[in-house]
Chains A and B, each alone.
Chain A
C-alpha cells in the first residue's frame, strides 16, 4: 500500500513536485499521467528513496520513506525510467545479480530467475549480453529485475516505453494479472494505457495534481461527455440544425466537417453533460428522421489531459 502526504521536491528552489498527496490500495493500479517534466519520475524517485523529498512524507506498506529506506526498498520492485541495466552482463547473470542482492541464493534463486524469465518472455535471450538486446528486450529485462523478489509494491516508470504494440499488449496484461494482490504505480504519457490497465488515474502538471479519479470519472470532465453525433443525408440538415437547437435538453449543436460524401454530421452537446440518448432517440423517432449514424461519446481522455495540463 502506498500513502503519500503532501510530498514536495524543489530543485534549486524551483518546485518539481508540489504538495502531492495520494493513496494506492492493494489491488489497485494507479496511472500517473502528465506531460514530460511534470514531476512523475521525481515522485517515483522519492518513493523509492533514491532522492529525499524537500518536504512531506510517504509510507510504503507502513514503512516511512524518511526513516526506513531499506525496508521501503525491500517492499518495492522498481523499474526506473529508460530501463537502465548493466550492458556487459548476460540477461540471466543480471537477474541472478539482482536476486542475490535481494537476498536469494541456491535453488530459490534459480527458481525465481526462471519464473521471471518465463513471465517476461525472456527465455530466448537468457544467455545474451544486455548490450546487444533490442529496446523491447531491454525494457523487459528491467521489468523482470523488478519482479524477482515478488514485491508487494511495484513502481514502474513508463513500463511500455519503446515496445511495439504487441509487446505493449503483453506487458499490460502482465501488469493487469499481477495487480490482484499488489499495489502498482505506473507512470505513462500514453493515454490508452490508462484504460488498458489502470483502476485509477492521476494527472499531474508542473508538479501539482490537477486531476484524480477512475478513468471514467476523468473522462466525465471532458467537453464531449455524453455528446451525441448524428449523421443524416445532406438534403435535410439545415432545418434539423434549427430543430435540434430548440430542444430543451440540448445545450448547443455543432456542425462537423463533412467526412463522407452526401452525409452531414452534427454534434449535440447536452445540458450539464447528462445522458440525452433516450430523449434524443425518442425525438428522432417521433419526427421520423432517417438516420445514417448515431454515436454517443463517453468523453475523451486526451482532451481532458490537454485541458488540465496546458491551461493550468
Chain B
C-alpha cells in the first residue's frame, strides 16, 4: 500500500482545486431536492421517511457519477502525467484504488451534504432512523459501483466525453436489468428464474433491499465485488494500454 496516501490526497485536492467539485456538489444537491420534492411528491406521500429520496438515486447517479469519474484516467493520459504517476515505485493496483477511493470519498462528501433531508423528515414526523442509515450506506455503496465503472471506462480513452458516454451506457444497462418493465417482459417469455437471475445483476435490485432497511450481507458483497472486479479490470486495461 506504499504510495496510497499521497495519491489519494492529491486526487482529492485536484477535485477541490477545480470548479468541477463545487459545480458537482450544487447540481447533486439540487437534483436530489428536485427529484424528491417535485418528481417524488414528497409532501403528498405523507410519510416521514427518506424512501422517496433514495428512490431516485439509481437514476441520478447514472449521470452524476460518470461525471465525477470520467476524468480519473483520461485526464492523466491526456496531460501525460500518467507517465509520471505510473513510473513511481507504486503498484498499479494501489494507484488505481487510491484514485478510486479519492473520487468515492468526494462523492461521500456530496452525499453527506444532503443532511438537511434528515432534518426535514425529523421535523415533519418521527421517522425510523434504521432505513435512513442503511439507505445512505446502500446509496454510497451503489455510488462506488457506478464510479468503478466510470474509472474503468476512463482508462480506455484520452477523451473525457467518450469516457462519460461509455460509462453512462454501461451503468444504464446495470440499472435496467432490474427495471420492473423489463422483468415483466422477461417473465412473460422465459421461465421466472431467468428473469430473477438477470435482475440479480442489477444495481437497483440490490439497492432496493438496502433502501428499505433490510441489510443483507449478500447485497453488500454484491456491491463490494462489483467495485473490486471492475477496478481489477481497470488495472488490466491500463496494463494493456501500456503494452500496445
Is B119 engaged at the interface, CB distance under 8 Å to the other chain? Answer: no
**Chain A residues closer than 8 Å to B88, beta-carbon distance:** 73, 98, 101-102
Is A56 engaged at the interface, CB distance under 8 Å to the other chain? Answer: no
Is A307 engaged at the interface, CB distance under 8 Å to the other chain? Answer: no
**Chain B residues closer than 8 Å to A305, beta-carbon distance:** none
A86 touches B10 (CB 8 A): yes
Contact surface of A with B, Cβ cutoff 8 Å: 11-12, 45, 48-52, 70-71, 73-74, 76, 78, 80-82, 84-89, 93, 97-98, 100-103, 142, 145
Contact residue among A50, A86, A88 (Cβ-Cβ distance under 8 Å from B87): A50
Can you list 23 A-B pairs with a CB-CB distance of less than 8 A? A11-B244, A50-B86, A50-B87, A51-B243, A52-B242, A52-B243, A70-B89, A70-B91, A74-B89, A78-B87, A80-B84, A80-B87, A84-B79, A84-B83, A86-B10, A86-B14, A86-B81, A88-B14, A98-B88, A101-B3, A101-B88, A101-B89, A101-B90
Q: How far is the CA of A70 from the CA of B243 in the complex (A)?
A: 17
A101 touches B7 (CB 8 A): yes
**Chain A residues closer than 8 Å to B2, beta-carbon distance:** 103
Q: Which residue of B lies closest to A51 (CB)?
A: B242
Is B6 engaged at the interface, CB distance under 8 Å to the other chain? Answer: yes
Say how far A17's CB is from chain B's closest CB, in angstroms.
14
Q: How far is the CA of A49 from the CA of B83 in the complex (A)?
A: 10
Is B225 engaged at the interface, CB distance under 8 Å to the other chain? Answer: no
Q: Which of A48, A52, A86, A142 has the most CB of B within 10 A?
A: A86
Q: Which residue of A lies closest to B83 (CB)?
A: A80
Q: How far is the CA of A82 from the CA of B81 in the complex (A)?
A: 10
B81 touches A85 (CB 8 A): yes
Q: Which residue of B lies closest to A84 (CB)?
A: B80
Is B17 engaged at the interface, CB distance under 8 Å to the other chain? Answer: yes
Say how far B41's CB is from chain A's closest CB, in angstroms.
42
Say how far A55's CB is from chain B's closest CB, in angstroms.
13
Is B18 engaged at the interface, CB distance under 8 Å to the other chain? Answer: yes
Q: How far is the CA of A145 from the CA of B81 in the complex (A)?
A: 13
Using a CB-CB cutoff of 8 Å, which residues 182-233 of chain B contact chain A?
none
Q: Which residue of A lies closest to B92 (CB)?
A: A69
**Chain B residues closer than 8 Å to A52, beta-carbon distance:** 242-243
Q: Which of B13, B79, B88 has the most CB of A within 10 A?
A: B88
**Chain B residues closer than 8 Å to A80, beta-carbon distance:** 80, 83-84, 87
Q: Which of B7, B79, B84, B243 has the most CB of A within 10 A?
A: B84
**Chain A residues closer than 8 Å to B169, beta-carbon distance:** none
Q: Which residue of A lies closest to B6 (CB)?
A: A100
Is B120 engaged at the interface, CB distance under 8 Å to the other chain? Answer: no
Say how far A71's CB is from chain B's closest CB, in angstroms.
8
Say how far B103's CB is from chain A's closest CB, in angstroms.
15
B84 touches A84 (CB 8 A): yes
**Chain B residues closer than 8 Å to A70, beta-carbon distance:** 89-91
Given contacts A97-B10, A100-B6, A103-B2, contact A85 B91 (CB under 8 A): no
Q: Which residue of B lies closest to A52 (CB)?
A: B243
**Chain A residues closer than 8 Å to B17, beta-carbon distance:** 88-89
B80 touches A82 (CB 8 A): yes
**Chain B residues closer than 8 Å to A103, beta-carbon distance:** 2
**Chain A residues closer than 8 Å to B129, beta-carbon distance:** none
**Chain B residues closer than 8 Å to A88, beta-carbon distance:** 13-14, 17-18
Q: How far is the CA of A88 from the CA of B14 in the complex (A)?
A: 7
A80-B83, A145-B84 given. 4 additional CB < 8 A pairs? A11-B244, A52-B242, A73-B88, A142-B84
**Chain A residues closer than 8 Å to B47, beta-carbon distance:** none
Given contacts A80-B83, A101-B3, contact A73 B89 (CB under 8 A): yes
Say how far B86's CB is from chain A's closest CB, in angstroms.
6
**Chain B residues closer than 8 Å to A97, beta-carbon distance:** 6, 9-10
B84 touches A85 (CB 8 A): yes
Q: How far is the CA of A51 from the CA of B17 in the complex (A)?
A: 31
B89 touches A48 (CB 8 A): no
Q: How far is the CA of A52 from the CA of B242 in the complex (A)?
A: 7
Q: How far is the CA of A71 from the CA of B83 in the complex (A)?
A: 17
Q: How far is the CA of A126 from the CA of B58 in the complex (A)?
A: 44
